[in-house]
Structure 1
């Protein structure tokens, strides 16, 4: 004799599958508007409800459009979680990508409040400037170098956004646009398209110090994907198409640091021509 279906169980399963389907959707315009409002007001927020990269990138597109009204149009791209320690911290199998804003850059030596964001951080980074769209056909770091017009020392000033950073995942990090908010741009380093300069980008020692000279962080250029130019190749292979003039943030060479009121920080790129530096002051 055939058993009658358990209608209560079926109803529960239907509701469960429906809830999972809803959770997998791109966050609504209203949800992303609320998140953008929290970011602009420097208010810690709940993480966006995304469970995969498709939804995360959809959420990112909405957020960039909203924040771009205040911070300027998209002006390039950033790679995040480009070092092994960063990937391990967020249980990521690889990097993530975000968008840079036109008006986010501050001048070398800039001063700003230590509480410049909901969850402010600072990190040693590097900005590459794309010379031409032929960079999209590059297959090696040497070929990337051939299509750069400038390289800048860069202190990124990201916002972790969410009230509890321990809840961040690669998907939610992507949805919050990898924390892009501001950055301090140093003087351009002349680009040499030779093997010595290419090797120097990997071998350089990136050192963060405070006003007293105390070392806060130290990592080689190779900490970013073996060579920071590999960030361009990773971004290109993961949906980015570059154009002339685009900025590229390669990712952090060391840990995310928490700014303190009254603190000054300097990043030195020892081994690049002239050992360039970039600095920031927190009020």
Structure 2
């Protein structure tokens, strides 16, 4: 990754301690205090090392990695956290839910929902530096998506280090089921509307995601390539929110509509 701190080499004892704390919070559903005070000078490299440590542990426990999510793609959220670039987290197969599925809100700590564009790759992106054309060639199709974000940090009291260490505050995701080739949709101008029981709770457009969802995908491809873990054929990429998050409470029905991509929905039980 060019010019940032993702590739630093933090101390193992610190990484293990923070990773254990977040792993236990994920296992038990009991939130923990912010972890940022563990890292002097807001050490993002250490936070990514924590994320990698828990990703390795989950894979060893049998979880299957299926892709990545990109976060902090909104300029307003970047200003709020004092950062100038996105972050990422790992997606696992057990985080995926069918379109229209009912989620158990009790399986999360403090879930929120956001709508975004998902890309599904059919070629590796392992070129080092990537262009939008590289991403277009590597993408099999796009889908509308709902990401359920969740934080193992109590009260969503997060800074950049907290959310990075906590696997990008990931929770679950729901994909639409009608694949759309990139030649059939303009992701830059697409409009998103997120409704709860038919009432609009969030709106946005493609330009609200780093100016273009494909720009976010290029950033991810470059970043993961620099880390030696490039995007691979079959990976799902959640490119980032197109509008503000909304709360996800019991007995709700949420539907996202993205022009050119269609709809995707989710329900919550008691």
**Structure-2-length-normalised TM-score:** 0.85
1:99 aligns with 2:85: no
1:38 aligns with 2:29: no
Question: Counterpart of 1:21?
Answer: none
- Measured after TM superposition, the shift of residue 246 of structure 1 is 1.0
* Residues in 1 aligned to 2:62 and 2:76: alpha-carbon distance in whole angstroms: 30
Question: Counterpart of 2:221?
Answer: 236
Question: Counterpart of 1:280?
Answer: 266
* Residues in 2 aligned to 1:267 and 1:259: alpha-carbon distance in whole angstroms: 13
Distance 1:114 1:64, change over 3 A: same
* Residues in 1 aligned to 2:60 and 2:110: alpha-carbon distance in whole angstroms: 21
Farther-moved stretch of structure 1 (67-76 vs 121-130): 67-76
Instruction: Determine which of 153, 158, 173 is the counterpart of 1:183.
Output: 173
Question: Counterpart of 1:63?
Answer: 54
SS at match of 2:177: coil
* Residues in 2 aligned to 1:114 and 1:265: alpha-carbon distance in whole angstroms: 13
Pairwise CA RMSD:
2.1
Q: Does the aligned pair in 2 maintain the 1:138–1:144 contact within 8 Å?
A: no
Farther-moved stretch of structure 1 (261-270 vs 125-134): 125-134
1:202 aligns with 2:192: no
Higher CA-based Rg: 1
Unaligned segments of structure 2, at least 5 residues: 1-9
* Residues in 2 aligned to 1:255 and 1:115: alpha-carbon distance in whole angstroms: 23
* Residues in 2 aligned to 1:248 and 1:83: alpha-carbon distance in whole angstroms: 17
- Measured after TM superposition, the shift of residue 70 of structure 1 is 6.1
Unaligned segments of structure 1, at least 5 residues: 1-23
Aligned length: 251
Q: Does the aligned pair in 2 maintain the 1:136–1:242 contact within 8 Å?
A: no
**Structure-1-length-normalised TM-score:** 0.81
Q: Does the aligned pair in 2 maintain the 1:267–1:279 contact within 8 Å?
A: yes
* Residues in 2 aligned to 1:93 and 1:82: alpha-carbon distance in whole angstroms: 9
The aligned runs of 1:115-264 (5 Å cut-off) are 115-134=106-125, 136=127, 139-166=130-157, 168-193=158-183, 197=185, 200-211=186-197, 213-240=198-225, 241-264=230-253
- Measured after TM superposition, the shift of residue 134 of structure 1 is 4.8
- Measured after TM superposition, the shift of residue 216 of structure 1 is 0.4
Q: Does the aligned pair in 1 maintain the 2:98–2:174 contact within 8 Å?
A: yes
- Measured after TM superposition, the shift of residue 89 of structure 1 is 2.5
SS at match of 2:265: strand
Q: Deviations for 1:22-63, whole angstroms, at most 9, x for unmatched residues?
A: xx6453424422321212221111223233121111100112
Q: Does the aligned pair in 1 maintain the 2:195–2:201 contact within 8 Å?
A: yes
* Residues in 2 aligned to 1:71 and 1:119: alpha-carbon distance in whole angstroms: 25
Instruction: Give 1 or 2: higher strand fraction.
Output: 2
